[in-house]
Structures are given as C-alpha cells and as structure tokens.
Amino acid sequence: MSGETGHHSIIAADPESVVARAVTALARFPAEHSWVLIGGIAVFIRLGSVTRPTADADTIAKSQAALLERLRADEIPSIIAGGELQIEVGNGTVDIDVMDLADEPLPIDAERRAFALARRAALNSAKPQLVTVATSTGEAVAEASIPIASVAALIALKTVSMVRRPHGNSPQKVGSDIHDLVRLVATGAQAAAEQLVELDADLSSWVAAEISRAFDTDLRYTLLRFHRTDRSAGAQALSDADVAATVTLADAIRDLR
C-alpha cells in the first residue's frame, strides 16, 4: 500500500522502520517554525514508495538555533549534538539532522553557492503533506503533517550531494544520491526543468551543467557504472530510459534558459 492522493501520501513500511519512526518524531516538530523535510525520506514520500534503505531523516530550518531551542523546551530530543538530534520513539530512537538555512551572504564559490541556493529552494518550495505510514495489511502505524521539499528542490539537493559527497565525510553514499536523483527526474523531466528554472535560474543552470558532466551520453556505460556504485535492488531495477531522463532534464533547462 503506497502512493499519493492530493496532499496525502501513504507509504508502506514496518512499524519499527526508520521511516515510521521519523514520521512519528517529525509530528512533534513545531508548525510555527519554518522547516522542511529533505533527504531520502522526502524522496520516498514524493515517489510514493521506499526505494532504498535509509538510516535517518534530514531537515532544513530557517533558523536551526530557534528550532533546536524550541525542541529543547518541549523536551523532545534525547540527544542534541550540533544539529544532530536523536529522538526517542516507542522502544527505539531515530536520528534527525537539522540543517541551518544560512544563505546570507551567498558564497562566491559555485559549488557552495549552489548548495545554499538549493537549501533556499527547498524551504521556499515546502508544502505541508499529510503522511501516513502503513503496514502491508493497511494498518496505519504513524501519521503526521510534514512540510516537504518539492521534486525540483530535491533534484537540486541531490545534484549538490552527488557532486560534494565524494569529497565529504560519507563518500559511500554517492550511490544512493544518484539513485534518488535518477528516480526523481524519471517522474517527469520537463516538468522538473520548468520548476527548477522557476525556483532559481542560476541554480537550474548549475544543475544542468553538473548533470551533463556526470551522465555520459553513452547511456549503456553510464547505467553499468551506476549499477556498480549502488548494488541495492532498487538501483539495479533502473533502466536506460530512467537514466536518459537526466539528460532530457539538462537539455530542457538549457532550452528554458
């Protein structure tokens, strides 16, 4: 049981899964603070299914300090280290990263600037969505109204991660970044291009350039290389057409610009 109806998404997952725990924990986040869900769980909600394993949830706050202060006042987190939260849910915990918007002034470096613009786009495109996590038999185990980044903003963020991750703390996660990026683009390359250009023209141009650089025109080789990077069942199921959509996205952005 998975899918999206209007502003209601239903995701099939085990009650003890990271997805179920994260949705339960995010239900406790204050609605009056400006924040948005990004990362793998946001991708799953936008796609309507869990397509790969994930270990935590990622968010962006307009003010990390203000949101963390409110969460402390509500005695919600069990552990706070920087922007990393560990929240008790049932008999376990879930890790949630709260990233600060921090987009003023914008960095001069192109890559860091793109990251700042992508964070801004995610927050600006956030739309509240009712999310229900249900078992395979249809039993609801978690539910919350969560502000979620748009598909276009998630594509921008995943492109940034694809570029930055190999030189960061978790280079092994680049495969899952590419996996998410390809699946998001495959939902509709032209529509995503239009949304990206509307969100931020400079960001969309950077995304187009980086996707063109990363995805070779020889799609058979590109797909083979990707399958070697990510061995998950979901990644192995991706086709030439799915990967080709990324090239369509880059071309559509350039045409719109």
H/E segment holding residue 66: helix 64-73
Contact between residue 248 and residue 216 where contact means Cβ atoms under 8 Å apart: no
Per domain, the residue ranges of the chain are: 1-149, 151-257
Contact between residue 123 and residue 63 where contact means Cβ atoms under 8 Å apart: no
The widest CA-to-CA distance across the chain, in whole angstroms, is 54
Contact between residue 95 and residue 81 where contact means Cβ atoms under 8 Å apart: no
Return the number of other C-beta atoms located less than 10 Å from residue 31's C-beta.
10
pLDDT tens track for 30-85: 988 899 999 999 999 999 999 888 999 999 999 999 999 999 999 988 888 888 99
Residues 6 or more apart whose CB falls under 8 angstroms from that of 27 comprise 142, 143, 144, 145, 146
Residue length, the chain? 257
pLDDT tens track for 147-197: 999 999 999 999 999 998 766 566 567 788 888 999 999 999 999 999 999
pLDDT tens track for 57-66: 999 999 999 9
Domain 1-149, architecture per CATH: 2-Layer Sandwich (3.30)
Burial 82-100 (b: 16+ CB within 10 A, else e): ebebebebeeebbbbebbb
Overall pTM > 0.85: yes
